């Protein structure tokens, strides 16, 4: 693994940092309070190439690599986790999925507007009764004589659901075949039969709109099947491996923001006539925060680097996601503690970091599921 970043990687990192600090950080608390979707910021991020970083230029993206994606995600998440959630779904779950499994025509039609930030993409796997066990899905796709499908059912917890133009949907086309009966489809939300259901009231990442989506006799033409019939589960799992690198990056960005705020506060805040940072118990927290932050960042970069080599990276992605999300939860918890009463106040961003950190242990596979993936890959046992 090469520890030096290329000029391209440093350039997208600097673009993301500049936008994050000037345009996102000053409004992050307001968006958290209102729960409003930051549409204008997301459009501008698209124009800067941040909504399709790994998408080739001919499909509207920035044409960069996975390490560039990690570096940019860290910068956006350090300013606001909700913006980085929207960015990660767009980049990895939606664009990367279509790039890997879509036909040439599908890529031109469905990746270009989303990677360029003109419109927003979503990924719909979870249902009210099926999350970790995605094969228990009930959303049904019934094949018609002409090769088209009719979809009926509901998906829940869909990030960007209320604003997405296109959705990469997974539905059961052959229930007898379980995982091998799942097919992936491209959904145009403007077509008849698509509805947004209830919006989810959330603990954190409040500005990333999340809702249920419903299908009522929704027609998908044969050309909008992604990959082939019955290959949907494989596509979803492949896409989630890449997605986990994005969530790990998000956790690193959030941890970095909490850590830096803690360093400043430990210098400035005085108690018993000295900076609280001079107390050994605070120093211990700072040393442990630093170790966990650096380990999370290196594991995330290793996962991106492994992905770039072209082989399997499922274990590395799960190790990065598990380590970085648990580090984020621990670091933001300690950061609140070091800030004392101000850590608990909405006048400072610490309580928001703490609330936002929790999601990184839940979505795109909970910590329990990451441990299963790692242990199964390592032992070969099911």
Ligand X SMILES: Cc1cc2nc3c(=O)[nH]c(=O)nc-3n(C[C@H](O)[C@H](O)[C@H](O)COP(=O)(O)OP(=O)(O)OC[C@H]3O[C@@H](n4cnc5c(N)ncnc54)[C@H](O)[C@@H]3O)c2cc1C
Q: Outline where the chain has alpha helix (H).
A: 7-19, 28-34, 39-47, 66-79, 81-88, 97-101, 104-106, 112-115, 232-268, 280-308, 314-338, 340-343, 350-359, 367-379
165 with 190: CB under 8 angstroms?
yes
What separation in angstroms does the CA of 213 have from each of 35, 94, 198, 224, 264?
A: 19, 16, 8, 18, 43
Cβ proximity to ligand X: between 10 and 375 the closer is: 375
Cβ proximity to ligand X: between 201 and 273 the closer is: 201
Judge whether 58 counts as a catalytic residue. no
Cβ proximity to ligand X: between 132 and 284 the closer is: 132
Least spacing, CB of residue 77 vs ligand X, in Å: 14
Least spacing, CB of residue 239 vs ligand X, in Å: 10
Cβ proximity to ligand X: between 99 and 164 the closer is: 164
C-alpha of 213 from chain center: 19
Cβ proximity to ligand X: between 301 and 359 the closer is: 359
Residues in CB range of 365: below 8 A, 6 or more apart: 132, 240, 244, 318, 321, 373
Cβ proximity to ligand X: between 13 and 325 the closer is: 325
Which residue's Cβ lies closest to ligand X? Answer: 131
Least spacing, CB of residue 136 vs ligand X, in Å: 9
Least spacing, CB of residue 134 vs ligand X, in Å: 8
Least spacing, CB of residue 119 vs ligand X, in Å: 16
What torsion, rounded to 10 degrees, do the Cα atoms 203, 209, 211, 214 define?
-170
- Give 209's Cβ-side CA count (13 Å radius): 20
Catalytic residue among 214, 351, 364, 368: 364
Least spacing, CB of residue 366 vs ligand X, in Å: 3
Binding site for ligand X (CB under 6 A): 89, 123-126, 131-132, 157-159, 202, 205, 210, 359, 362-366, 368-369, 372
Tokens 């928001």 correspond to 352
CA nearest neighbour of 64 among 108, 114, 111, 13:
13
CA nearest neighbour of 172 among 153, 188, 186, 200:
153
For 158, the token pair is 């869909």
Q: At what angle do helices 66-79 and 81-88 cross, to 10 degrees?
A: 150
Residue 264's φ and ψ, nearest 5 degrees, are -60, -45
Q: Which residues are catalytic?
A: 364
């Amino acid at each position: 693994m090469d520890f030096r970043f290329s000029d391209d990687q440093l350039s997208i990192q600097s673009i993301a940092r500049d936008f994050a600090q000037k345009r996102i950080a000053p409004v992050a608390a307001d968006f958290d309070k209102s729960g409003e979707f930051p549409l204008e910021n997301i459009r501008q991020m698209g124009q800067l190439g941040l909504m399709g970083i790994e998408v080739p230029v001919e499909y509207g993206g920035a044409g960069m690599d996975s390490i560039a994606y990690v570096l940019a995600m860290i910068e956006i998440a350090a300013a606001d986790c909700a913006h980085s959630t929207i960015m990660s779904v767009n980049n990895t779950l939606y664009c990367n999925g279509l790039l890997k499994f879509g036909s040439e025509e599908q890529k031109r039609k469905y990746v270009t507007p989303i990677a360029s930030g003109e419109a927003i993409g979503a990924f719909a796997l979870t249902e009210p009764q099926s999350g970790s066990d995605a094969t228990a899905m009930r959303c049904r796709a019934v094949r018609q004589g002409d090769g088209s499908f009719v979809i009926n059912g509901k998906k829940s917890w869909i990030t960007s659901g209320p604003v997405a133009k296109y959705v990469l949907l997974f539905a059961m086309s052959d229930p007898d075949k379980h995982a091998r009966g799942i097919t992936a489809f491209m959904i145009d939300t403007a077509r008849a039969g698509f509805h947004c259901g209830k919006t989810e009231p959330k603990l954190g990442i409040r500005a990333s709109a999340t809702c249920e989506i419903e299908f009522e006799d929704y027609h998908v033409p044969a050309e909008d099947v992604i990959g082939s019939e019955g290959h949907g589960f494989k596509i979803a799992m492949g896409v989630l491996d890449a997605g986990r690198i994005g969530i790990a990056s998000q956790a690193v960005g959030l941890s970095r923001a909490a850590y830096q705020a803690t360093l400043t506060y430990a210098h400035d805040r005085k108690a018993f006539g000295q900076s609280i940072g001079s107390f050994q118990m605070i120093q211990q927290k700072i040393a442990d925060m630093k170790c966990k932050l650096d380990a999370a960042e290196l594991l995330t970069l290793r996962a991106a680097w492994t992905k770039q080599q072209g082989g399997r990276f499922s274990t590395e992605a799960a190790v990065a996601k598990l380590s970085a999300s648990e580090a984020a939860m621990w670091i933001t918890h300690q950061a609140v503690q070091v800030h004392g009463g101000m850590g608990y106040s909405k006048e400072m961003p610490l309580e928001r970091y703490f609330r936002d950190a929790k999601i990184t242990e839940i979505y795109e596979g909970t910590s329990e599921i990451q441990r299963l993936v790692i242990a199964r890959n390592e032992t070969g046992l099911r």
